[in-house]
Amino acid sequence: MQFSSESVETLVEQFSRLPGIGRKTARRLAAFVLKQPKSDVVEMAEALIAVKEKVIFCSTCFNVADHDPCPVCLSDRRDGGVICVVEEASDLMAVERTGGFSGKYHVLGGAISPLDGIGPEDLKIKELIARVAAPGDGPVVREVILAVNPSVEGDTTAYYISQLLAPFEVQVTRLARGIPIGSDLEFTDEATLTRALEARVSV
């Protein structure tokens, strides 16, 4: 089934390019847009454009932000001696929702995945090591929490980083296995993620 409008079909094609969105869902989204007032659609379009024009990456932790450094890195209420390493900015937000972490973050931008052509050089790993080796004006890093996803790629990434951090006097921990294998932090409930943070183990 196709819409008789070429413009709507183009919109369906764009929606179907989003992760997790099939053709059926894309058509449903397009139908929803058609029913919305023009002002709402314009607001949505402006929000999409603003994301590309205004959002930047923090030069310290590589979280998405409107300003550099980001509010987390700027905060003097956060413990700069503890760095929580996550794969994506969405994982950072998942940890923040628990309210149980008061340190700072480092966003890798993915995980090591040779099958997908993603190697250590494609991630922000060397920047993490630099933060531990030379903290600059901040406090000495005492602990690095590897809050990567419990997957083959996450395990590979955690092992690789732990080996690089071995020469430094820093405790390297990983979230406890309260998170199901193969799941993503982004979709983990707050209670499970809080328990995993509290029961993190040394690597």
- Residue 42, domain CATH: 1.10.8.420
Confidence of residue 13 (pLDDT cuts 50, 70, 90): very high
Q: Do residue 37 and residue 133 come from a single domain?
A: no
Residue 1 has pLDDT above 60, yes or no: no
Res 95: pLDDT: 94
DSSP 3-state assignment of 89? helix
Q: How many domains does the chain have?
A: 2
Query: Which of 41-55, 103-117, 181-195 is least confident?
Result: 181-195
Tell me the C-alpha distance between 193 and 149, whole Å: 11
| pLDDT tens digits along 139-198 | 899 999 999 998 899 999 999 999 999 999 999 999 876 666 677 788 887 877 887 787
CATH number of the domain residue 171 falls in: 3.40.1360.10
Q: How far apart are CA 98 and CA 92, in angstroms?
A: 10
94 and 129 inside one domain: yes
Residues with Cβ within 8 Å of residue 23, at least 6 apart in sequence: 12, 16
Same domain assignment for residues 75 and 167: yes
